[in-house]
């Protein structure tokens, strides 16, 4: 699923996000996402390819059941080098992704250490990260 552009488009349209829960087998196999991803057509664009890496362009065109089309084109996304993610967004994403592995206190300590990398000893951050439980693969 993480390498399937049709799946990623379908699940993001349906769920409004692509997070770890969208990679759960039951979500991948559900009828709504399977039906939608079969309707998605991906076409490469030489123009877009030439514009990379300065831009990360894409265009999405939806054809509605009544025949109308809705289109959206983007040159980049929040988190791309031309539009860095805001610190607050980075922290929110970190907290969301790490919540099942660490408690709020450790999360805040890690965020604080990263925010102050230029003034702390790197060993401090390494000791904090060593406290993180990572499930076996």
3-state secondary structure of 119: coil
CA distance 124 to 34: 46
Name the β-bridge partners of 74: 58
Tokens 């054809």 — which residue?
Answer: 63
C-beta of residue 21 within 8 angstroms of C-beta of residue 27: yes
pLDDT tens-digit profile of 23-43?
A: 999 999 999 999 999 999 999
CB neighbours of residue 113 within 10 Å: 19
Q: Strand runs (DSSP E) across the chain, as ranges? A: 58-63, 69-74
Strand duo 69-74 + 58-63: pairing: antiparallel
For tokens 């809705």, what's the residue? 70
Q: Quick: pLDDT tens for 45-55.
A: 999 999 999 99
Reported in sequence order, the residue ranges of 11-126 that DSSP labels E, i.e. its strands, are 58-63, 69-74
Checking if the pLDDT of 128 tops 90, the result is yes
pLDDT, tens digit, for every residue of 4-21?
999 999 999 999 999 999
Question: Which residue spans within 16-119 are E strands per DSSP?
Answer: 58-63, 69-74
Q: Is the pTM for the entire model greater than 0.85?
A: no
């Amino acid at each position: 699923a993480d390498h399937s552009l049709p799946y990623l488009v379908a699940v993001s349209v349906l769920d409004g996000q692509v997070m770890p829960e969208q990679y759960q087998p039951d979500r991948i196999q559900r009828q709504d996402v399977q039906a939608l991803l079969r309707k998605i057509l991906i076409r490469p664009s030489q123009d877009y390819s030439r514009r990379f890496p300065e831009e990360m362009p894409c265009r999405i065109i939806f054809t509605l059941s009544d025949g109308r089309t809705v289109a959206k084109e983007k040159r980049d996304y929040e988190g791309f080098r031309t539009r860095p993610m805001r610190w607050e967004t980075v922290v929110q994403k970190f907290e969301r992704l790490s919540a099942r592995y660490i408690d709020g206190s450790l999360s805040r300590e890690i965020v604080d250490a990263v925010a102050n990398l230029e003034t702390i000893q790197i060993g401090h951050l390494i000791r904090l990260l060593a406290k993180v439980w990572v499930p076996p693969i």
